[in-house]
Every structure is written in C-alpha cells, then in structure tokens.
C-alpha cells in the first residue's frame, strides 16, 4: 500500500502504483479529489512528454504545483498514463 500525505491530510492511497525514476505514481482514482486544484503550470520531459500540475490544498494551506501527471505521455512512459506523482514536501510511503 502506498500513501501520500501533506499537512496532516491523506492525499492518495493505493495498493496499485507505478514507480518511475524513484517517484511513486498513484492511479487517478486513488486521489482524494478535494485536495487538488488545477494549475496552469506545464513542464517538458524528453522521454515522458508534457507534464501538467495540481496545487495541493490541505489543512487550510496550498502547496503550489506539488502534484504532477502526464495527460498524454510518450510511448516509453505509457505505464504512467492516468497516474499522479508528488513532490514539494509531500510524504510518500510504500
């Protein structure tokens, strides 16, 4: 079971996940949607494609761009389509 937490709140939990470059990618259905708002941020990865971001909202605080996903990953990263990963102080245990 993998679990992502921040500011005292559980953001995602799942016994199914993908690990890429040391990052745990949770399936989208594992997210506690009330903790996520869309961000306008996008970045580019040479082999995974264009990443989109969510701001994480928990305990009355916002962690900008703390979650990311690849809406249309390149074929080498097809296994993370529909999955979300975390950084910026979000604790991920597996």
Fold of 2-93: 2.170.150
Distances (CA, A) of 18 to 14, 27, 34, 37: 10, 8, 23, 22
Q: What is the pTM of this model?
A: 0.96
pLDDT of residue 59: 94
Could you read off the pLDDT of 44-67 as tens digits, one per residue?
Answer: 999 999 999 999 999 999 999 999
pLDDT of residue 90: 98
61-69 and 49-58 as β-strands: parallel, antiparallel, unpaired? antiparallel
Below-70 pLDDT ranges, the chain: none
Residue of 55, 52, 49 whose CA lies nearest to 78: 49
**Element (DSSP H or E) covering residue 26:** strand 23-27
pLDDT of residue 64: 98
């Amino acid at each position: 079971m993998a679990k992502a937490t921040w500011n005292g709140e559980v953001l995602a939990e799942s016994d199914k996940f993908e690990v890429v470059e040391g990052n745990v990618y949770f399936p989208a259905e594992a997210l506690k949607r009330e903790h996520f708002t869309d961000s306008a941020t996008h970045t580019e990865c040479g082999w995974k494609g264009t990443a989109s971001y969510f701001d994480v909202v928990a305990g009355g605080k916002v962690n900008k761009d703390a979650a990311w996903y690849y809406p249309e990953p390149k074929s080498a990263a097809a296994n993370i389509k529909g999955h979300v990963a975390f950084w910026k102080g979000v604790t991920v245990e597996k």
